[in-house]
Structure 1
Amino acid sequence: MTFISPKTDFALKKIFGSVHSQKILISFLNAIVYNNQNVIQSLKIINPYNPGVTNTIKETYFDVKALLDNGSTVIIEMQILNVADFKKRVIYNLAKAYGNQLDRNVGQGYIMLQPFIALTIADFVLFEDIDKMITKFRFKEEKE
């Protein structure tokens, strides 16, 4: 029997981005993001399309996007090739998705912004100076 590599967009979306695979995604996120703690009890797979607010901003699609039961949103991307400026693309996609929560015409305050998690699965060494398989980053003050 031949299996499709989970590194392909198609397979990754079937494994994690299907309404039939919510339990698998919950288990995976609890293991990776929350250190095997059962923080996430439920989630909703949502449209991975991330449009630009204007026609001058690049449109993006995520492999998987889900709304967690705590109000956070998670975006998952699989990257096989180490392309130039990939780290910048990860930050851009997260910042754009985070900012797209607010509708500029409604007058929502920034307090309405919910937490966002960007989970990037890379099939290459992304950080040469770090010898860990899983790395986590937060927007946090440098010394505290």
Structure 2
Amino acid sequence: MKFVDVKNDVAFRKVFGNESRKETLISFLNAILGFHGNQRITKVNILNPYQLPKLKGGKVTIIDVKATDYMGRSFIIEMQVADIDGFDKRVLYYTSKSYADQIKRGDFYRKLQPVIFIGILDFEHTQNPNYISRSQVRDIETGEQTIKDVEFNYIELPKFNKELSELKTLTEKWVYFIKNAENLEVIPKNIHDAGLKSAYEEANIQTWTQEELDAYDYVFMREEDERAKYDKAIKNAVKSAVKSAVKAKEEELVIGLWKNGVPTDVISKSAKLPIEQVQEILEKYT
């Protein structure tokens, strides 16, 4: 048995956005958010169910899973593999927009229901040493939760380092699955939760269609292309910075010698620059 990398966009949506396996998403949400008793989710409505992306000439835009529960609460679950610029602002905008879009102009504000964001991050994002952190709007002095309808949860995978034998809670088993499923060959024996077991079954690559596998591989190709573009941009920036620094040093040397009365032909030999270049530098300065 072999499992897919759940951090892949297609795999993520197939596991968590599958309408025929809603027990997976329900189990995950209850475990990560620590819902118990009356808070516990028993039913969900997936707002953007899993569909294969169109590959031809297209950018894969599978980003997240959105759902609501029977109490009207909305959940946004997103997998983010790269620490992109403006990530916090995008999360705030996306969450706020989901909150505001619940009602139309003229509707009563009391119809608005909580929106809870869960970001699964393959990088460290907060200073919190724990692998799960929760951000709410609270009074700085008293800790009072002044605004209760928005909440941001982050699962930082690099901070989770427990081995399979160390897993005790369902939360730990869920995070382990997301981070390590691709390296496993069997469903762990300590998995008794129906939702998590369903997730492992859905992540079994042997059950995927060829079309799904093609989409899965395509996402990795696009990610590699983006990394290559980023690396090239960094190299070009470094090269440009080095070139600018060298040029500045050359100009500094030429001007310094000139101020001390050194003839241009001697400056040319000392700086190892063509006399024409020396003259250009002096013309700019004078």
Q: Which residue does 1:53 correspond to in 2? A: none
Which secondary structure does the structure 1 equivalent of 2:123 belong to? coil
- One-letter code aligned to 2:6: P
Greater strand share, structure number: 1
- One-letter code aligned to 1:101: Q
When the two structures are superposed, what TM-score results if normalisation uses the length of structure 1? Answer: 0.82
- Is the deviation greater in 25-34 or in 2-11? 2-11
Q: What is the CA-CA distance between 1:69 and the residue it aligns to?
A: 1.5
Which secondary structure does the structure 1 equivalent of 2:98 belong to? helix
Q: Which residue does 2:85 correspond to in 1? A: 84
* Partner Cα distance (1:14, 1:62) in 2: 12
Q: Which residue does 1:46 correspond to in 2? A: 47
Q: Which residue does 1:100 correspond to in 2? A: 101
Identical counterparts, % of pairs: 39
* Partner Cα distance (1:117, 1:62) in 2: 16
Q: Which residue does 2:187 correspond to in 1? A: none
Which secondary structure does the structure 1 equivalent of 2:99 belong to? helix
Q: What is the CA-CA distance between 1:34 and the residue it aligns to?
A: 2.0
Q: Which residue does 2:28 correspond to in 1? A: 28
* Partner Cα distance (2:100, 2:79) in 1: 22
* Partner Cα distance (2:11, 2:101) in 1: 27
Q: What is the CA-CA distance between 1:109 and the residue it aligns to?
A: 1.5
Q: Which residue does 1:52 correspond to in 2? A: none
The CA deviation string for residues 38-59 of structure 1, in whole angstroms up to 9 with x for no partner, is: 61111111137xxxxxxxxxxx
Q: How many residues align?
A: 129
- One-letter code aligned to 2:111: M
Q: What is the CA-CA distance between 1:103 and the residue it aligns to?
A: 1.2
Greater helix share, structure number: 2
Q: What is the CA-CA distance between 1:20 and the residue it aligns to?
A: 1.7
* Partner Cα distance (2:48, 2:14) in 1: 14
The CA deviation string for residues 25-78 of structure 1, in whole angstroms up to 9 with x for no partner, is: 11110000125x361111111137xxxxxxxxxxx9751011112110101111
For 1:1-144, list aligned pairs within 5 A: 2-34=2-34, 37=36, 39-47=40-48, 62-104=63-105, 107-127=106-126, 129-142=127-140, 143-144=142-143
The CA deviation string for residues 112-132 of structure 1, in whole angstroms up to 9 with x for no partner, is: 1011111111000011x2101
- One-letter code aligned to 1:44: N
Which secondary structure does the structure 1 equivalent of 2:117 belong to? strand
Structure 1 pair 13–87 and aligned structure 2 pair: CA distance change class (3 A): same
CA-atom RMSD, angstroms?
Answer: 1.9
